[in-house]
Amino acid sequence: MALSALVEQAIERTLLDEQTIQRRVVELAAQISSDYADVDNVVLVGVLKGSFIFLADLARHLDVPHSVDFIALSSYNRGTVSYGAVRLIMDTRSSITDQHVLIVEDIVDTGYTLDYLMRNFEARRPASLRTCTLLSKPDRREVDVHVDYLGFEIPDVWVVGYGLDYANRFRTLPYIAALRRDVYEKE
């Protein structure tokens, strides 16, 4: 089956089109570049897999010296249901101690993932630690987490595209779209 046909079947509507996302990414990069203007190096730590496209675009608009690293987390998900238990399954390649670290995430939903990550990273004594998240679903928050740089607030719907997936599909769509409820609520 063609991917376009699959998209046609599963997607309800576009929430954020490509141009809107790109414009916001440029704004975020400008803000980050200005805030870190006096820093030697910013370590961008992307949370795999969801952040890979956002991080790639954001990093290419930064005007501060930076390096890129990744971590992978597993959050005991079944489809769209998260159970709040988070586990580190791949750590950064380089130590973050004494580094200026900016965590780059795709979305904050309940907040468990980012909360876990902040605690885990704080313990390693970075020089500074901030968070940049493309999306946030404030209605779904269960733990209060601070986001320093936020792209967009969105309603409580399951979104795909621009790195975000449903069952590992749709990550590479250039826009962000809401999945049809009957697709993810039939579990």
Q: What is the number of alpha carbons within 13 Å of residue 13 lying toward its C-beta?
A: 3
Instruction: Pick the closer one to Mg ion by CB: 39 or 68.
Output: 68
Active site members = 109
Binding-site string for ligand IMP from residue 79 to residue 108, where x marks contact by CB under 6 A and - marks none? ---x----------------------xxxx
Longest dimension (CA), the chain: 51
Interaction residues for Mg ion, span 41-60 (CB under 5 A)? 50
The token pair at 153 is 């607030």
Residue 139 CB, shortest distance to ligand IMP, in Å, is 12
The listed partner (ligand IMP, Mg ion, none) that binds 57, CB under 5 to 8 Å by sort, is none
69 vs 58, 94, 143, CA distance in Å?
Answer: 14, 8, 26
Element (H, E) at 52: helix 52-59
Residues at the interface with ligand IMP (CB under 6 A): 50, 75, 82, 105-113, 158-159, 164-165
